[in-house]
Each structure stands twice: as C-alpha cells, then as structure tokens.
A = this chain, B = another copy of it.
Amino acid sequence: MDQQVKANGNCSGRVVEGPTNPMVTPLLTDLYQFTMAYAYWKANKHQERAVFDLYFRKNPFGGEYTVFAGLEECIRLIANFKFTEDEISFIRESLPGSCEDGFFDYLRGLDCSEVEVYSIAEGSVVFPKVPLLRIEGPIAVAQLLETPLVNLVNYASLVATNAARHRFVAGKSKMLLEFGLRRAQGPDGGISASKYCYLGGFDATSNVAAGRLFGIPLRGTHSHAFVSSYMSPDEIIDKSLRSADGSSSCEDLVSLAQTWLSKIQWSSSLRGIFGETNQSELAAFTSYALAFPISFLALVDTYDVMRSGIPNFCAVALALNDLGYKAVGIRLDSGDLAYLSCEARKFFRAIEKEFGVPGFGKMSITASNDLNEETLDALNKQGHEVDAYGIGTYLVTCYAQAALGCVFKLVEINNQPRIKLSEDVSKVSIPCKKRSYRLYGREGYPLVDIMTGENEPSPKVGERILCRHPFNESKRAYVVPQQVEELLKCYWPGSSDKPREDLPPLKDIRDRCIKQLEIMRPDHMRRLNPTPYKVSVSAKLYDFIHFLWLNEAPVGELQ
C-alpha cells in the first residue's frame, strides 16, 4: 500500500485529524459508488444537491434502545476526504476503459467542502427510523460516502450498545473489563471494540494499542501459560523482596509463602479443604508477586481452584502482607463461577479471621470465561461474590447479533422529496429533509422522538403536539412536552458559515452515554419484554409521506 499523504482536514478554522485506522480512505467504499458517480457525472447530474438519512430499522439484541457511536470517525473521514493520484489511477483501472478523462479530473478536485453533516451527538441513546446522520451535498460525493459512513457507524453503535447492555445486567458497582482482542473480527474489530465498549460503559480494556490510541485504562495480569511455564519453586533464583515501606527485606519470599501454605493447611477452620497444592503454580504466583508486589492478582484455575489455586494464592498474599503489601485478588477463568466465587470468598474471610488480616475477606474476585448478558444474569440469580468481569468473545463480536442494519437513504434531491418503496412497510423510507426532536415528559423521561419537515415550527415546551406513527394511521398521541431537545446538530458545515459542534473527547462521550441511559424510563431498558420507545412524525409530515407513497407506487391490475 502506498503511503497516504493527506492534509489535515480544516473547517471553520479547526483541524480534524485523519481516521484512526489509516485503511479508512475514500477507496474504502463499494465499486458501485464510483460507477454511479461516473453515470451522474456523464449525465451532468453529479452536482445536484441531495439529502441522505443514515438510520437503522430495528434495535439490536431484542432490546428497545441503541447507543449511537462512530460519529467522530465519520467526521475524520469527511474532513480529510481527498483522492491521491494512485487512488485515482486505481479507480480508472477498475472502471470500463470507455470512461472519459474529465471524470478523473473531477475526482482529482473532489473533497467534502460542499457537504454538510448533521448528526445526533455521539453517545446518545437512539431509536429506529430517526436519522443518526443527515448528509447534504452534491449527490456524487454523498454517494461515495455512503459505504464508509455506514461501516463506521454500524459496528461502533452495535458494540457500544452491547457494552451498555452488559453494564445494565452487571450493575453499576461492578468493574467491567473488555478482554476481546484475540477473538475480535480482525485487528481493528479489536481496537474499535475496545473504544466503543469503553464508550458504552466498560471501565478498562486489555488491549494495549487501544489504551494508547484512546486513553482507555488498561488491565491485565497473567495467563495459564505463565503458570504452567514454571516447574517448581527451585527455579526462582532471586527470592528477595524489600518491604513496602523499604524498612526491611525478606530474603526468601518462596520460603515465606511455603510457611504460610502449611499454616493454612493446618489451620483449624480451613483444615481438610485441600491436600497438597501444585508446586509449579506456587512458584508462578511467587514469581509474579516478586515482579509486582504492589498489584498481585493471580489466575487460580490452572490446576484446581479450591484444592490448589486459592490456597497457593492466599499463601503468597499472606507472605506479601507480612512485608506490608496488600494483594489485589484472584481471577477465575473456568468452572462454576457463582459457586467458586462464594467458596473463595468464604476462604478469604476464614483467613481474615484465623490470621487476623483485616480486609483479606474483601479480596477482589474477577471472573472471565465466555461471559455474556445471559451468564451475568444467571450469576445474579444464583448469587455470587464476583467484583469484576472480564468479557471477551460475546461482547466484541456481538455474538448474539453480529450486525446492525444501518442504511443510507436518499430523502431529497434538488429540493424534491424522494421515497424508497418496498413491499415490506418497515423498509419504506421517510422522505424529506427533516428535523428531529426528543420530547420529555413531566417526570424527566424522554417520551417520544418526533420528525417534522424542515420548515415546520419546532415543538414548544407546554404546547400540545400530535405525534403520529409514520406508517400506522391508527397510532397517534398528543404530547405536551416539558422539554424539547433538537437532535440533529451540525458537525460538518462544509463551506457554509453554520456554527459547528465540537467533537468531544471519548471520556465525555462515555459520560453522555451513561447519563442518557440513566434517564430512560426503566420499562424501555429491561431485558425481558421491554416497552418500545415511540418514534413519530408530525401530522403534516405524515400526510406528505402518504401522498408521495400513493404517487410513486404503480397501480396493479388484477387478472
């Protein structure tokens, strides 16, 4: 791949960096966007002003809400949208030889300065049919943007929603760690997952590259291989450890841990729980503690959790305690996590009592091993003592539903509204350049989202407004909003002089997401049979949709 050399996108005097993944270029699109661009250009139609809505039709995971994510990467692409000569040569090779040279000159000069992008704020809770982004601009360039924008929003929103759902089941007090890199769909499936899981409410990731790119807190200790790489405690050469306050030194942490192990073995309250523990595991734990005395957290299921891992861990933790260090805790990566976490907790409490080590009973317990929404829910129902969850495969691949169906539909061209018909009503698009509002009720909950024509007066606080289902004539309701929030804001004004919204830092987007999820009415959020949130259109827009529909649909002839 030749090096992309690009000027940073500049708009309203502010610079927008390029996409996080250098593979996101104007070529990251479907070939038909170029064949269409050529056909538009050939028909001299390429500069016609079009309006596209980007939206999805159905919330994922059987839920009734979605977290919107991916906006910043969209704007980064748009701000830096420019073809290199090499890219233009490749497009020329990929189109029939009959294509005229003028088209490639046109591509050479193309950027997004004539494009305007309106969007809901990233990290917002969003619903089907309501545009997440509205793209206005010359039709040829707007079409070229379709594929990358849909790509950048689809997975980002899907995985952020998945993270938010995991947070909802786990509860606010638990630590949620994203551990999915190795099972993600490719390298930036992993990197995007780390970013958008954090956005959706996770606390940290194991992914070092993502930590660096996005400032996400990093977590990780050791694996089973680390444990099985040790044969016996004799392997450890330098066994000495200075005490936490530096005042003294232990010459042989291995012996100290072994002494503690036999004390535990012969203690009255713990007697008989285990026989001989695995000595290579004890060696591995001791070695890890020597490297990280201030943050000792051990994976305890390489051989046998209760008969080996927990006693070995406690022996090393007690040895560290003698030197003024406080061990962090354990990780369980297999077996019955509810049962094992409770047994481990009992063991820790017994140690606290037996040996008078304050706080030992509160040792942190992390669980991993193929966790998902269902297993978290099952753990809650069984009762458990887990403090932190490490979640991988099911979270990052969105195993329960691996795709969100965002689409990008033409709603207006040359100020003429356009509709896309379908025999499936749910696939009929809502025409017109629109505005969208979220209306809040007396109790502070969002009640309904409403779309109106661009030039309709906006809903007013305290004024009754009729909200209609866009396609079902019998579904309508009056609402008197206590608060009205306009959803689409300008994030890319092109060369217009409209004020432009800032792209907030990831931390702020995450805060917004958490806050937005909190103010939703609980029945929309529950896992079992959630109530659909209402999405509506104004009476005027309703009438117009149905006028246009009748106008466009061919009249059948029964024979």
Interface presence of A90 (CB below 8 A)? yes
Known interface pairs A29-B208, A94-B211, A222-B35; A182-B150 also in contact (CB < 8 Å): yes
Which bucket holds chain A's interface residue count?
Answer: 35 or more
A208–B89 CA distance with the chains assembled, in angstroms: 12
Please measure, in the bound complex, the distance between the C-alpha atom of A34 and the C-alpha atom of B332, giving whole angstroms.
20
Counting chain B CB atoms within 10 Å of each CB, the highest count among A25, A50, A179, A226 belongs to A226
Q: Are B402 and A277 in contact (CB under 8 A)?
A: no
Contact A555 B275 (CB under 8 A): yes
Tell me the minimal C-beta distance from A131 to chain B in angstroms.
Answer: 15
Q: Which segment of A213-221, A381-389, A437-445, A456-464 sits at the interface?
A: A213-221
Residue numbers in B under 8 Å from A34 (CB-CB): 208, 220
User: How would residues 12 to 40 of chain A score, 1 for a CB under 8 Å from any chain B CB and 0 otherwise?
Assistant: 00000001111111011111111110111
Given the interface contacts A23-B209, A43-B236, A189-B188, does A229 sit within 8 Å of B50 by beta carbon? yes
Given the contacts A27-B208, A290-B42, A421 and B189 also touching, CB distance less than 8 Å: no
Can you name the residue of chain B whose Cβ is closest to the Cβ of A557? Answer: B275
Question: Which residues of chain B are within 8 angstroms of A159 by Cβ–Cβ distance?
Answer: 185
The smallest C-beta distance from A294 to any residue of chain B, in angstroms, reads 6
Residue A243 at the chain B interface, CB threshold 8 Å: no
Interface residue? A501 (CB, 8 A): no
Q: Mark A300-318, 1 if CB is under 8 A from B, else 0.
A: 0011100110000000000
Contact (A151, B181) CB under 8 Å given A42-B291, A43-B237, A554-B307: yes
| Residues of chain B with a CB closer than 8 A to A272's CB | 557, 559
Q: Which partner residue on chain B sits nearest A19 by CB separation?
A: B187
Residues A291 and B23 in contact, CB atoms below 8 Å apart: no
18 CB contacts below 8 A, A to B, read A21-B21, A25-B209, A30-B179, A31-B211, A32-B206, A35-B292, A96-B295, A146-B225, A183-B405, A185-B397, A185-B398, A186-B186, A186-B192, A188-B188, A225-B409, A272-B559, A302-B420, A303-B421
Interface residues in chain A, defined as those with a beta carbon under 8 Å from any beta carbon in chain B = 1, 19-25, 27-36, 38-40, 42-45, 48, 50, 52, 87, 90-91, 94, 96, 98, 139, 143, 146-148, 150-152, 154-156, 159, 179, 181-192, 206-209, 211-213, 218-226, 228-229, 231, 235-238, 272, 274-278, 287-288, 290-295, 302-304, 307-308, 334-335, 393, 397-399, 401-406, 408-410, 413, 416, 418-424, 427, 552-557, 559
